[in-house]
Amino acid sequence: MKEISVPLYINGREIRGDDVALEYEKSFGKVRLLLPSLGREKIGTISEGARELAGLSLDDVLSFLSRIGEVWADPDSGIRREAFDLARMVTGFHDRELETDFGYIPGLLSESVFLMPTLRAEFGDPRVLDEWSRIGGSRVKAFPWGRVLHILAGNVPGSELLSLVRGILTKNSNILKMATGNPVTPSYLMRSFIEADPEHPITRSTSVVYWPHQAEAEGAAYSLADAVCVWGGFDAVSAARKNARPGAPVLDYGPKRSMIFIDRESIGGPEALSATARGIACDMAVHDQLACHSPQVAFVERPTDRFCEALGDALSAAGREMPKGYVGVDQNAQISHARMMSELRGDRVYHPGTTEWTVIVTGEFARTAETPLSRTLYVIEVDDLKEAVEFVDPLTMVIGFSSSGKLEELKDRLALRGVDRLTRVGNMGLIPPGFPHECRYDLTRLVRWVGADDLPQW
Amino acid sequence: MDYEIDAFLDEPDPWRMDPDAIRVRKFAAIRQAFVHHYANCGVYRNFCDARGFNPDMLDSYGDLARVPLISTRAFKEGLSLLSVPQHEIVKVLHSSGTSGNRSRVPRDGITLTRFMKSLKQTILNVQGGSGYVAMLGPSPDELGDLAFANWARAGCELAEDHEFFLKNLSFDPAYCVERVNATKIRPVQIGGAPMLILMLADFILKSGNRITTLTAESRITSGGGFKTLTGEVVPRDEYDRRLVAAFGVDRSNIRDVYSMTEINGMISECARGVLHVPPWMHLSVRNPANLDEEIVPGAEGMPGFLDPCAHSYPGFVIADDIVRVAVAEGDRCACGRVGPCLDRSVRRAEGAEARGCGRHIEELRAGAAV
């Protein structure tokens, strides 16, 4: 078994050790990652570093992040190559998926592509992060909350960078708690900070940590956190809400799932049918359906036979363009059980004879709750998409539409049901600057808005 | 009507029969059961028809690998899997777990009788149990219709004396040691849930208050999984090590049992540490990526069972577990009994909720104020 040491970082300083072993067995054989064990005391030393970066100008912040972006933009960068090689062993994603994910990193760190458009979209005038600005009848300035603890999820490489970038743009200090599913990218991001400037205030206020489930280090980290960003499922989000200090904002990302709305016209002719199916297949292939924005259920106006067949073809084609990542025995077992249960219930099941993809036409929405993922889509037939609106709730992140017309027609009703984002199929995994995430603008939630009135004396 | 399975269950020690004879009798019993369920269970018949399989196609032993298997999840969803009229159902045995997640399996008198016979065969011929049984669990009366109660009941019916030590959901290890040391009956057998057995072991190791009545014939038999109340899994090696230290028994006498509510019997470890499938039950370990294929011994797969003891429901099931075959069918285990045997590394298949973002969506939906 291959053994690889993965360092952790406290306030930008590397810590190595081998007390914690995490084992993975995906497409490239067994690998054991060795990490140092961080107890309560070690986590406590994070408090010796800067609590926030209020003294730093936004220009300083953007300039530093752009330098990091340049490191990740270079395909020959040692850090990027090492991170990629380790990520493919640990995450199980196919190389093409990881190439796409790594390809997003420079964009996310680019001032012109993502950072400034996002700041403008969320703050209007981002100078409010640097100076007192007049808003309405008040003078206000956006101050950092302090230390932000990011509880990361391992399902989608890249989400950790989005979380960290939000924390840095708002001049907070940051503690990244890596997920067991991906203890690679955060560690290498930190390495790129150190390579760029080991003494930079952002480097010295960033920590990358790990602790096993229910370790006492967890309590120590929460006690230091002025705000928490938590990514993941029900258990992770519930635990964060329970552990966060009173008054500390908890920004949760998950648990969510996404849906697709297909109207009759979009699948009427062969070309439209094929384009719609291609878009859906693309959305299902991204991150092998592990992300919140991945569609799990499609409401389709009758009849659906040709649609399901076309979607099957599109999924097979998508499998060639973006091959599925590692599928273990357990995951195959879940897919097989789901198919068998659907057959027993009398649902229609489409698959290629392997576990590559599955389309299940069911009459009962409740059955869609248990999905094996791995490119599985439940299809529910409706006479009119209006019937589907009642199944949307605040746990729905994205709805992908096959036509703009239906999106426009239903957008207000769906918004009131609690959906986060509406888009066209094929775009469900994209995050344009300015997009509200979980129905929030979180840069504005990661700052304390302070007012200093200059009203005339009474 | 005479059923092949009933005569099979009356054999004195089926694990030591000639493997060819076992195949003949097992096939006859399963074929008879398949014909019965195909004729009488509409849901199963439709399922078989959809998969292109009917009784005419069950012609030879090799065809057993093609018998359609039902996911054990079907019994959690309340699908109508009855092969007898409803009024013939005597008990609906259920699994443990939260009420929404329980397997509920309807059994008639015929099935219940075979269930008890099957359990007793395993206890007598694989576990070697009788004498005094200290059961670390609640009595069958307290367990109600939990399938586990039948194992406890069968074990105690075969014993000369027994006592249940989880009383009103409370376990007193000191009292247990005192009672077990007081018996004059040999051998003394200890059985129950692994966590209670560990509690007893830890009490003994801490207090030095040892059990003095255990002999070379004593077994410490557990069933139900090695998870603690907080969900942590106790590694089997550690479990064995603590028990050897506490009870002073040979490691080969620490046994575990694998079973599920949907089958009528148990798969019990022998002294060699492998799990013996009852000879009348057909083990068909399927390829998780293609359930129509069996996998080769040694590879990981999903355990399918063709259980001819089931009369009131189709006992042709496949579980949410991952197993490896340790001894192939027809081969003999080093203990002398005939295979097939499973390696004891049986585990639950990891669910998608552990990977994705949308865990507990339905529960959350139920609670959402929409």
Residue B369 pLDDT = 37
Rg (CA), chain B: 21
Residue B351 pLDDT = 76
Amino acid type, A251? L
Minimal C-alpha gap between A346 and chain B (Å): 8
Determine the average pLDDT of the residues in A291-302: 97
Burial of A125 (0-12, 13-18, 19+ CB in 10 A): exposed
- Dist CA B197 CA B217 (whole Å): 18
Check pLDDT > 60 for residue B357. no
A322: β partners = none
Contact criterion met (CB < 8 Å) for A290 and B355: yes
ipTM: 0.86
Which residues on chain A are in Cβ contact (under 8 Å) with B71? 337, 340-341, 344
Determine the average pLDDT of the residues in A172-176: 98
Dihedral, B79, B80, B81, B87 alpha carbons, nearest 10: 140
State pLDDT tens for residues A438-455.
Answer: 999 999 999 999 999 878
Residue B355 pLDDT = 58
Which among A155, A290, A340 has CB closest to B291?
A340
Q: Could you tell me how many helices (H) and strands (E) chain B has, helices first?
A: 10, 19
DSSP codes, B248-274? ---GGGEEEEE--TTSSS-EEE-TTS-
Contact criterion met (CB < 8 Å) for A354 and B74: no
- Dist CA A420 CA A431 (whole Å): 12
- Residue A456 binned pLDDT confidence (cut-offs 50, 70, 90): confident
- Residue B219 binned pLDDT confidence (cut-offs 50, 70, 90): very high
Q: What is the mean pLDDT of chain A?
A: 95
Residue A433 pLDDT = 84
Q: Which token pair is A56?
A: 């730093």
Contact criterion met (CB < 8 Å) for B290 and A232: no
Contact criterion met (CB < 8 Å) for A395 and B350: no
Which among B79, B286, B361 has CB closest to A344?
B79
Nearest to B34 by CA among B58, B10, B2, B1: B58
A358 touches chain B (CB under 8 A): no
Check pLDDT > 90 for residue A261. yes
Determine the average pLDDT of the residues in B135-148: 82
Determine the average pLDDT of the residues in A316-323: 97
**Helices B19-40 and B42-50, interaxial angle, to 10°?**
110
State pLDDT tens for residues B261-301.
Answer: 999 999 999 999 999 999 999 999 999 999 889 998 889 99
Nearest chain B residue to A392 by CA distance is B370
Q: Which token pair is A7?
A: 């360092």
Give the range among A111-120, A384-393, B166-175 with minimum mean pLDDT: B166-175
B45, B69, B357: best to mutate for the A interface, most A CBs within 10 A:
B357
Write out residues 19-48 of A within 8 Å (CB-CB) of B: none
Q: Which token pair is B66?
A: 């093609």
Check pLDDT > 50 for residue A338. yes
State pLDDT tens for residues B70-126.
Answer: 999 999 888 889 999 999 999 998 887 654 578 899 999 999 999 999 999 999 899
Determine the average pLDDT of the residues in A246-263: 96
Which among B77, B357, B363 has CB closest to A256?
B357
Percentage helix, strand, coil for chain B under 3-state DSSP, each rounded to 5: 40, 20, 40
Nearest to B147 by CA among B7, B339, B316, B310: B310
State pLDDT tens for residues A372-392.
Answer: 999 999 999 999 999 999 999
DSSP codes, B201-231? HHHHHHH--------TT--EEEES-SB-TTS
Q: Which token pair is B15?
A: 């694990």
Q: Which residue has the tokens 């109340």?
A: B229
Determine the average pLDDT of the residues in A13-31: 94
Strand A348-350 and strand A295-301: the pairing is unpaired
Check pLDDT > 90 for residue A97. yes
- Dist CA A249 CA B212 (whole Å): 59
Handedness of CA A127, A133, A137, A140 (dihedral sign): positive
Residue B361 pLDDT = 47
Determine the average pLDDT of the residues in B302-330: 96
Interface of B with A (CB under 8 A): 43, 46-47, 50-51, 69-71, 73-74, 77, 79, 230, 286-291, 300-302, 318, 320, 322, 349-353, 355-365, 368, 370
Residue B368 pLDDT = 44
A326, A329, A389, A416: best to mutate for the B interface, most B CBs within 10 A:
A329
Residue B359 pLDDT = 43
Residues B211-238 as b/e (b if ≥16 CB within 10 A, e otherwise) read bebbeeebbbbbbbbbeeeeeeeeeeee
Q: What is the mean pLDDT of chain B?
A: 90
Which residues on chain A are in Cβ contact (under 8 Å) with B370? 393-394, 417-418
Check pLDDT > 80 for residue A127. yes
Residue A142 pLDDT = 98
Check pLDDT > 50 for residue A65. yes
Residues B8-19 as b/e (b if ≥16 CB within 10 A, e otherwise) read bbebeebbebee
Check pLDDT > 70 for residue B345. yes
pTM: 0.90
| Contact (CB, 8 A) for B277 and B270 | no
- In sequence order, which residues have a C-beta less than 8 Å from that of residue A246 and are 6 or more positions away? none
State pLDDT tens for residues B82-93.
Answer: 999 999 999 998
Residue A103 pLDDT = 94
| Contact (CB, 8 A) for B33 and B308 | yes
How many Cβ atoms sit within 10 Å of the Cβ of residue A455? 8
Residue B142 pLDDT = 80
More confident position, B224 or A304: A304
Residue B353 pLDDT = 55
Check pLDDT > 90 for residue B350. no
B256: β partners = B222
Determine the average pLDDT of the residues in A336-353: 94
Q: What is the percent of chain A where pLDDT is above 70?
A: 100
Check pLDDT > 50 for residue B370. no
- In sequence order, which residues have a C-beta less than 8 Å from that of residue A358 and are 6 or more positions away? A335, A338, A339, A349, A350, A351, A372, A374, A375, A376, A377
- Dist CA A122 CA A135 (whole Å): 14
DSSP codes, B142-171? HHTTBTHHHHHHHHHHHSSEEEE-EETTEE
